[in-house]
Amino acid sequence: PFNHVPNSYYMDPSDSCYEICHRVIRDMTQYGVCVLNNFLGKEQGLMVLNEVLEMYRSGIFTAGQLVSNPASTEAQTIRSDLITWIDGKETNCHYIRQLISQVDNIILRANKMANNGKMGDYVINGRTKAMVACYPGSGSHYVKHVDNPNKDGRCITAIYYLNLDWDVKRCGGLLRVFPEGTNQVADIAPIFDRMLFFWSDRRNPHEVQPAYSTRYAITLWYFDAHEREEALRNFKERGQPSSSK
C-alpha cells in the first residue's frame, strides 16, 4: 500500500492553507511521509535559492559533524554534507525567514486541526533552527540513519529542496526512506520547491544517495512538547553528578 503514496501534490495557489493542512494530516497519519510540490511557487522559491547560494558563496558552511568520532576519516564515509544553522533573522535571509514561517504555520495549524488537537499524538510546541545543507556533488552522500533514534524530542522532519532541473539519473542525490514495517521504499527526488515532511523517529530510516551535482536543502525539526520536556529533564539529571558519588 505504501507505494500508493501520491508522490506529489501540486499546490496551485488556490489551495488554501486549510487544504494543505488536511493533506499533511492525512499523509502523515496514513504513511508518516508527506510530499508537497510547488510549495512556495517559482518566484519565492528562486528568492530562497538565491539567499542560500549567497550564503554558500560567503563560505559559512562547515562540514556536517558526526556525534561519534568526527575526527576520523570514517566521518567522511558516513556523511559529506556541508551545513550551517540559521534562525532566519540574519541579514540576507528575508526569504528563508518567510519559508520558515510558512512551514511553521502549516505544521502548527495541522497539529491543531488534527483530531483532538494532535497529529500522530504529538503536541508540537517548537522547533530547531533551520539547517541549510549542501552536498557538494562528487559522490557526497549520507548513509542510512534515523534522525531521532532516542527520543530527543524531535517528532517531524521538514525538508525544503532547492535544486533546479534536478535529474536523479544524471545527478543522483535521491532521498530514499525505508518506512518501518514494510519492504517498500519511498524515493524522493530533491527537486526545486518541493516540501517533505516525515516522522523523525525510527519509523523513517533514510539515506541520501551519492550526489553528482551540488544539492541544497533546508531542514527544520519540530518538537513534541512532552517528549522534548522529558528529554531535557533526562539531560539535566544525567548532567548532575549522581548523588551516590
Minimal CA–CA distance to 10: which of 35, 47, 33? 35
H or E stretch covering 101 = helix 94-113
Residue 201 binding Mn ion, by CB under 5 A: no
**Residue 54 or residue 74: which is nearer to Mn ion going by CB?**
74
C-alpha 110/C-alpha 93 separation (Å) is 26
Residue 147 binding Mn ion, by CB under 5 A: yes
C-alpha 179/C-alpha 182 separation (Å) is 6
**Residue 38 or residue 219: which is nearer to Mn ion going by CB?**
219
Answer with the entry of Mn ion, ligand 2JP, none that 35 interacts with (C-beta below 5 to 8 A by kind). Answer: none
Residue 227 binding Mn ion, by CB under 5 A: no
**Residue 23 or residue 79: which is nearer to Mn ion going by CB?**
79
**Residue 23 or residue 194: which is nearer to ligand 2JP going by CB?**
194
Outline where DSSP puts E strands in 32-191. Answer: 33-37, 62-63, 82-86, 124-127, 130-136, 140-145, 154-161, 175-177, 186-188
Restricted to residues 7-66, the positions that interact with Mn ion (CB under 5 A) are none
Phi-psi region of 35 (alpha: psi -120 to 50; beta: other; left: phi over 0): beta
Answer with the entry of ligand 2JP, Mn ion, none that 217 interacts with (C-beta below 5 to 8 A by kind). Answer: ligand 2JP
Phi, psi of 214 (to 5 degrees): -70, 125
CB of 87 to Mn ion, least distance (A): 20
Answer with the entry of Mn ion, ligand 2JP, none that 9 interacts with (C-beta below 5 to 8 A by kind). Answer: none
Per CB under 6 A, residues contacting ligand 2JP are: 64, 133, 142, 147, 159, 175, 190, 206, 208, 217
Binding stretches for Mn ion (CB under 5 A): 147
